[in-house]
Amino acid sequence: MVVGCVKPYNPPPITGNGNYLVVDGVINAGTDSTIITLSRTVNVSSANAGNPVLNATVAVLSDQNISFPLTETTNGNYVSPGLNLDVNRQYRLSIATNSEQYQSDLVPVTIAPPIDSIGFKIANIPSPGVQIYANTHDARNTVKYYRWDYTETWEFRSYYVSYYVGNGIALGIRPANQQIYECFANDVSSDIVLGSTANLQQDVLYQSPITFIPSTSEKIEDEYSILLRQYALTAGAYNFWLKLKTNTEELGSIFDAQPSEIIGNIHCINNPTEPVIGYVSACTVTSKRIFIISQQLPFWLPAYPYSCMQDTMNSYSPFLIFQGGSTIATGPVPKGNVVPVSVATSDRQCADCTLRGTRARPPFWQ
């Protein structure tokens, strides 16, 4: 009877007319660039995942009505080099599209203290992996709310080594400058990472969690680096990000909090009832980078993202001679400059790391 009372519920696709402006970014008061990304919401049922706002006019305005224009680049990004703003003034964002005018509330400049250190520890949450954390404090005891985002970079390898390469005529020994075994990849954070000392006597955060990397991730197969950026928030900004985190990352079970309305500090001047999604802060940004090498971790085997097997093929096969095919020659290890008649082969995604990364070594890499 209990089983018979449980049925799956598949709600119909949401097909509302909402096409609301989404504003993402902060006014960087320091020497780093200010990057504001503008987009429009899309329906859940839509196949279009991105809807950037193009040809807008974007500027930072001070409380003295001094304008600092931003330049449009690509994909709805509007950029200005270091503004070096007067931290004693207040600032807002002005946005003009084809038909609407938007402005954020005036906000003070918050000063982000330096990141004291970034560390890591072996953890089980719930499976084994690496927990990365940050330590920070504000000696002035004025910053109570923090947000972090980060960029990850890691070195990884293909499952097999490709020792041979075709030139359209024959199969030859792969030269060192065409190796496709070791590559670099990077990613930017998509989760919302917050910290608060509002309930503490001192403005100190110790081992505040940043991100968790499972032991099976190829991010920590060889060498991994994270560049962490720290923002100081006002109470209003912190509450906005906390609600956004709750609504987007902490829902899904009957025990989770109910979704709530997210109200930012950006408004449509022409139509005050139009919802606008986002919260514009003005702050300085501090950053720090660390490296983690596999020798610092337990012996873990990464899970390769593809199922890989080897087969054999005649080295004169056109599937191997012409570059860019789905099959690639992997072995055996060549002896001198002689290509064997029969070679081991595999799918390209198992032997060509450039499909998921780049051979170019980052300039900051140790």
Q: How many CA atoms lie within 13 A of 57 on its CB side?
A: 8
Tens of pLDDT, residues 164-179 = 999 888 999 999 999 9
When pLDDT is averaged across residues 304-324 and rounded to a whole number, the result is: 91
User: CA–CA separation, 314 vs 344, rounded Å?
Assistant: 9
**What 8-state DSSP symbol labels residue 277?**
E
Of residues 305 and 255, more confidently modeled: 305
| The pLDDT of residue 5 | 65
pLDDT at res. 155: 97
pLDDT at position 258 is 54
pLDDT of residue 167: 87
Residue 85 has pLDDT above 80, yes or no: yes
Write down the pLDDT at residue 105. Answer: 97
Lowest-confidence region among 62-66, 178-182, 189-193, 316-320: 316-320
Q: Is 76 exposed, middle or buried (0-12, 13-18, 19+ CB in 10 A)?
A: buried
Q: Which top CATH class is 18-104+235-280?
A: mainly beta
Digit-coded pLDDT (tens) for 252-300: 554 555 555 678 999 999 999 999 999 999 999 999 999 999 999 999 9
pTM for the whole structure: 0.88
Does pLDDT of 239 surpass 80? yes
